[in-house]
Chains A and B, each alone.
Chain A
Amino acid sequence: MTRFAAWAAIISGCLYFLMPMIGMTEFSLSMRRGVYSLDAYRVVMADPQFQATFAYSLIMALLTIVFGVLLVVPTAYWVQLKMPRMRPVVEFVTLLPLVIPAIVVVFGYIRLYNTSGWLPLTGSVTGTNLLLMFGYATLALPYMYRAVDTGLRSIDVATLTEAAQSLGAGWFRIMATLILPNVLSAVLSGAFLTLAIVIGEFTMAALLDRPAFGPYMQILGANRAYEPAALAVIAFAITWACMGLIQMVSRLSKHKRA
């Protein structure tokens, strides 16, 4: 009986998630009347807007990842090494982006960095891009910090640092040759999560008026029928590919027990 209930729960859960996806996929394949076809995908792929916005978001994601890694890895390392008692505070700060809606953050940005502010970032395209990248980094912060912090906890940071120092190493070398490689799989999983977030992000990009993939999906969704479904499937595929990559890299590192 309990076994039956368990299976029933699993199956209804799966249906709950799978039905819309199956429906959407089916719909995205039905552009040509009567037969399944990839027409909707063809149209989407051929759209120069698609290519441009997707490329833009991809580049933004890469910049966000680089910035996030440079910000989070040294911070998490330092907190763990020098002020372990501050860890709950830092953890709380990194979780704030989950609580504060993106729209609030971006309005704050616009108020603070508008053309009459003290740092008019929104006055230029580069400045706005930079601002958007900071915004993305904020959104990804909880995931990135968690991943890296967990990675750091699995090694004895303090003793390894002292061992390296006794051998003459300075901070930069310790970060680059010991800390980063040892948390690489954690960093990569944080990176893929960041990628997934940035590719799908709408609010910040729209309000800062940047040609990102999120707003493009929204515009397309408002004006077309089959193409948005195809786009959603593509976005899903990307997200799932990222998840798969996380799994792969965490299994690939040579120096860990299999």
Chain B
Amino acid sequence: MAFLELAHLDKSFGANHVVKDFNLSIDKGEFVSLLGPSGCGKTTVLRMVGGFEDPTAGTISIDGQDVTRLKSNQRKIGMVFQSYALFPNLTVAQNVAFGLKVAGIDKKETADRVKEMLTLIGLGDLGARYPFQLSGGQQQRVALARALAVRPKVLLLDEPLSALDAKIRASLRREIRAIQQRLGITTIFVTHDQEEALSMSDRVVVMTQGRADQIGTPFEIYNTPATRFVAGFVGTLNTFDATLTDPATGTVRMGDTQVVLNRQVKAAAGTPVALAMRPESATLGAGQPGDVTLTGRITEVQFLGAIIRITADLGRQSLTLDTFNRSETPPPAVGSEVTISLPHSGMVVLAG
């Protein structure tokens, strides 16, 4: 049995069915992100784990113990909020010590633990400040230290970086992940930012309308999205209309071209499907023998630094492709005719 187990969780607010049959098993020390658009129920799932909402149905167990009916102050969880939620009347050190005081830990050990935590988050000398004297990034670090000080079994973070500006967000993201790995603490991280989810997590849960659409490693989620929603929500994607001709070998007809993926597809022959491809899988030029080749006219070139994003008009639709920047080959000019090749390995069939 997994360390943290959510089984058949359901939650309705009145007639509003917000979370539907949500299942998730998280191993000890794992970092799992809940990723999805606004209103899909991420926060609600997290709050049910934290004990702030009662599930309408289903169970939650932590470390083999069923905690579904336990109050949040008995669950041994650490929570970090988007709005920091530091206690304004307490100093930084007192904030971090709060949970330890509640737990009845003696003064000496509390002081040691506070010091250890403040060092961990790199704010060792700000213990005497009040929250209003800190920047947003510093406040969120203190909130993290406060949650971790009591050595919770599970750490829950609800969009902790959303209120911060881009630079701090990126650095704090790495810092949170590093601390999480150092302490080996089981973590659920809620975000609607795919970059955040993909870069930090061991596994990502992509949610829509209260359901988990796909659960997998960032690599799996990105490269083999299970549904159209996941494919569209995570990253940029080119899709082509196609028809499935042979499910066993994964043969698909796209216009006049036959594409054999050599992968089984779970759908009946004759089903209209979408053939999807990431921009970085397509290449300019002839490519390998067997690749699907298309011709098009370049309509846009975006120079993004390491990557150049090219948009081409294929006649019936447009296609986005990414190439690495190389100093010896300048990007093609807008308006030029090019050949584009699509390797079979980069294609995914989306039936759902």
Contacts and interface: CB of A to CB of B under 8 A. Distances in A.
Interface string A166-199: 1111100100001001100000000000000000
B79 A257 contact: no
B85 A162 contact: yes
Nearest to A166: B79
Contacts of A254: 130
B72 interface: yes
A65 to B, nearest CB: 21
Contacts of A155: 88
Contact of B73 (A156, A165, A178, A181): A165
B85 A169 contact: no
B219 interface: no
Given A155-B88, A168-B99, A168-B103, A163 B81 contact: yes
Interface residues of A, number: 21
Given A168-B102, A255-B88, A162 B130 contact: no
Given A168-B150, A255-B132, A257-B132, A163 B87 contact: yes
B130 A166 contact: no
Interface residues of B, number: 32
A165 B71 contact: yes
B132 A166 contact: no
Contacts of A156: 83, 85
A164 interface: yes
B147 to A, nearest CB: 7
A160 B146 CA distance: 13
A87 B261 CA distance: 63
Interface string B125-152: 0000011100000000001001100100
Interface string B36-79: 00000000000000111000000000000000000111111111
A256 B81 CA distance: 21
Contacts, number: 75
A6 B299 CA distance: 68
A163 B81 CA distance: 8
Contacts of B72: 162, 165-166
A159 interface: yes
Interface in A90-136: none
Given A156-B83, A173-B102, A257-B132, A166 B89 contact: no
A12 B51 CA distance: 62
B102 A256 contact: no
A168 B85 contact: no
A6 B50 CA distance: 59
A167 B74 CA distance: 9
B132 A169 contact: no
A150 to B, nearest CB: 16
A166 B147 contact: yes
B132 A256 contact: yes
Interface of B: 50-52, 71-79, 81, 83, 85-90, 98-99, 102-103, 130-132, 143, 146-147, 150, 156
Given A166-B50, A255-B131, 13 more contacts: A163-B86, A164-B98, A165-B73, A166-B147, A167-B73, A167-B146, A168-B74, A168-B99, A169-B73, A169-B102, A173-B102, A181-B89, A255-B88
